[in-house]
Amino acid sequence: MPEPSVTLRKIREQFGESIIETHSRLGEDTVIIQPQVLVPVSTFLKGDPDLDYNFLMDLTAVDYLDLKKKPRFEVVYHFFSLAKKHRVRIKVPAEAKNPEVDSIVSLWAGADWYEREVWDMFGIKFRGHPNLKRILMYEEFQGHPLRKDYPIQKRQPLIGPGAGS
């Protein structure tokens, strides 16, 4: 069995009791963490000189409704170190009822729009986000269209010129 990457080793050492699972497949490290340690883990990834994850590549969510997985949602972060040329995927579970995780905008300004998109499409709130509002759908849009239980035949309120006609 190959040795764990420096990332997996250091995260386990620092946050052992808050780690749900780690694995590495095809050179891709994944860490599933308890929601309450998202900001400390992100701060550690960015600040540790051996890791130096200075680039938030992506932030998205997954709805596991059809798979009946608990909890229903996961927020998924992809970090990359430009200097070290390594990457890690961090997954944070979020409950079905009132899904919410902490914002990391204070660490990566680029998380602003990613978090707004996840809020808009999945309805997952980001505590501490400076301006959490819709980014793709209009303000009057009802629901979150990437949720697996979103009714695709749903009629939305009309807006704009001629909407009342």
Into how many domains does the chain fold?
A: 1
Q: Is the residue at 29 inside a domain? A: yes
Instruction: Please tell me which residue, 158 or 70, carries the higher pLDDT value.
Output: 70
Q: Is the residue at 142 inside a domain? A: no
Q: Is the residue at 130 inside a domain? A: no
Q: Is the residue at 85 inside a domain? A: yes
Alpha-carbon span 138 to 155, nearest angstrom: 14
Q: What is the pLDDT of residues 3-24, one digit of tens each?
A: 789 999 999 999 999 999 999 9
CATH code for the domain in which residue 46 is found: 3.30.460.80
C-alpha 55: how far from chain center: 14
Q: Is the residue at 141 inside a domain? A: no
Q: What is the pLDDT of residues 100-127, one digit of tens each?
A: 999 999 999 999 999 999 999 999 999 9
Q: Is the residue at 146 inside a domain? A: no
3-class DSSP state for residue 122?
helix
Q: Is the residue at 160 inside a domain? A: no
pLDDT value at position 131?
A: 95
Q: Is the residue at 79 inside a domain? A: yes
- Which residues constitute the domain of residue 27? 6-104
pLDDT value at position 114?
A: 98
